[in-house]
Structure 1
Amino acid sequence: MTDSIQNVESYLEEVYGKPVSVIRVVELGGDGEETELKGFGYGKPYLIDFILGGEERSAVLSSMRVQKGFGHDTFADRAALMLWQNYAYERLPRHARSLDVGYFTKSGKLKSAGDADEYFILMELISGTEYFRDLNRIRDADIFSRLDIDRAVALSDYLVEIHSRKHDDPVLYHRRIRELIGSGECIMGLADSYPEDFEYYSRDDLERMEKECVKWRWKIRPNVKRLCVVHGDFHPWNIMFRNGIDFSVLDRSRGEYGEAADDVSCMSLNYIFYSLQKHGRLQGNFKKLYDSFMQNYLDRTEDEYILSCIQPFYAFRALVVASPLWYPNLDPEVRIKLFNFIDNVLAGDRFDHKNVNQYFMRK
């Protein structure tokens, strides 16, 4: 343990240019016990408490788990993402700040970038509670208040703000739409992750769905003026609320710019997903959240066209929550309705956000 602590201290001294004394290193989400750093580099986030210049500070060190698929297969894939995160996190309002990007050497040392074995990112520690816990409370305990509506609207307002920042780069817009369909993290990558013998959505279903999404790519591709600042993975696990509507966001993904429909579909699909688990349809308090979030966004942006390009983004997000890999214990009826949702949404030219329940039926 002494060698591990010394490695961390040496790294932090390289980052800050001053003497550092590490108090403890614990795995986030663990039992709070101090830990060896032997497992560093394999996807676990660690909280580091240390003293710098007589002041106690905290930081979070994390790396990507080595895994096949989803575009993270190689060292270069993971290094590129970490380097981008270090650059991009501080460029998004309210996002947790990256303090440094570094790598692990083959000897287990941590360095702030040639003799690299795996990259990691060091970020500031953000206080708060993950937003999905609010949704769990509403689903499981049926406890709901005006604050829940206010938070949905605050999240919608946030997207209104960042999506107003446009970017002129037609080639980049084409790439973002292309990656929605073909990236290892998106539609085709998710399709590849489904079991060969999956009973609820067969290989033929996945092939048909992919072909429909390719058609959508060519429909959306000309809309290059829609390129804007995005979060890229705007779901309830990446949002930390504190008091009231004060929040921060985590883990933006897949590029600084993209299509606004990506963020809007990501959050709103989660309201649908939770409501399906509780009611088997969009109704009750989750419908209130969905309607508040969507209507506020549409009213403030006047972006009615988003309803004509959100379809493949909804397909992507529904593939995630319907996945037996990510949600192995999901009720089969919920899973079936999500696949119906995918097929029906892709079949329509304009998404009817006021009549979502029509999309859950087999047609």
Structure 2
Amino acid sequence: MKFYKVVLNLAVLLCVIVIIVLYVYQTEEDETNTVFHRSNGVFNRGQELHESYKASVTTKTNSHKYLEPIEYNVWCIFTKVKNMNSPLKFKFDNMLSSILQYSSIVIILNIISDARSKYIVESVINKKINETGKQLIKVKYHSVETITSALSNLTVTMQPFFSPHPGAYYSDALFFISLGLYRFAPPQQKYAIMLDIDIELQTDIANLFKEFHSFKEDNIIGLAPELSPVYQHILYVYRSHHKHTKLGSPLSNGGFPGLNSGVILFRFDRIRASKLYETLLTLPAIQNLTSKYSFKGHLGDQDWYTLVAMEHQGLIHQLPCSWNRQLCLWWRDHGYHDSFDNFAKCDGPSFIYHGNCNTPIPKHKKYNKYDVDSNNNHV
């Protein structure tokens, strides 16, 4: 009797072992040949693993060349707008219309504003979305009072060097916000563009974001060249002592005419990590550079960008002039008539028109010297 029980137990144990072996084998086979259904078709797990490996290798191989997926963050300042008839309101309306007209992407529009201006800009945005039927923007509002208050020390440092006199237009704290914007952008926001509201796009804003692909490893900010002789004027003393310098000369002659801050590309992640950038915001650094170049500016943040680029060219990625086609003629009519054309020269299509110094943006786009007709009027 005991013998039969032993045999029976052995038989049961053998069956269990066989079942386990078969289960393990089947599971391994299933893991190799499992079929996954996706929206673009059906393929087996072996294929998926192969494709995942290829994707991983491609990502690692090209990590220095291609950007990781990003949000499309655009920043602008909309403040001190008193009513619906304000020129600033119409400028913003025009900028927004041009973005929506060409955009193929959803952008996050970060608006720095005060309470009254926020009410006005909200109405503009809602109306424009209803008119176009395009839901291509998400809006985030940021308190201008909070930001300027937090940047008060920075503003106090900058004003004596880059403002004409206290109370002047470019003395306002608003014109130094871009320098400290990285402190207020969310930590996960690595890339961003800042636009003046007196611009008009002529192409998809996604193409401007592609300029980040052209940044070199040490580039942290991107700006287009200044298209007027303003920095030739500011650098008069320095140029008189350095006869062969290219600083302050037209881009068309191979010079460095300075930078314009109407369109700015930020690598916030690199700015946050840059000790040099932080140092260049300090009073001793600014005193050193302004003294070295006999530099007394009056254009706010773009004076600082220009000064930094003269000393640390590698920090700046220079955008093609077509991404900030400035239209202001003020310097042509104030002592630089003979040389103005050389500064304003920007060949090819204009991707962004910049109606700086309240210059009307041409209705009929022309790609000549500076988009004016034979009577030197904007068209």
Q: TM-score range by the shorter chain?
A: under 0.3
Greater RCO, CA 8 A, separation 6+ = 2
Q: TM-score, normalised by structure 1?
A: 0.25
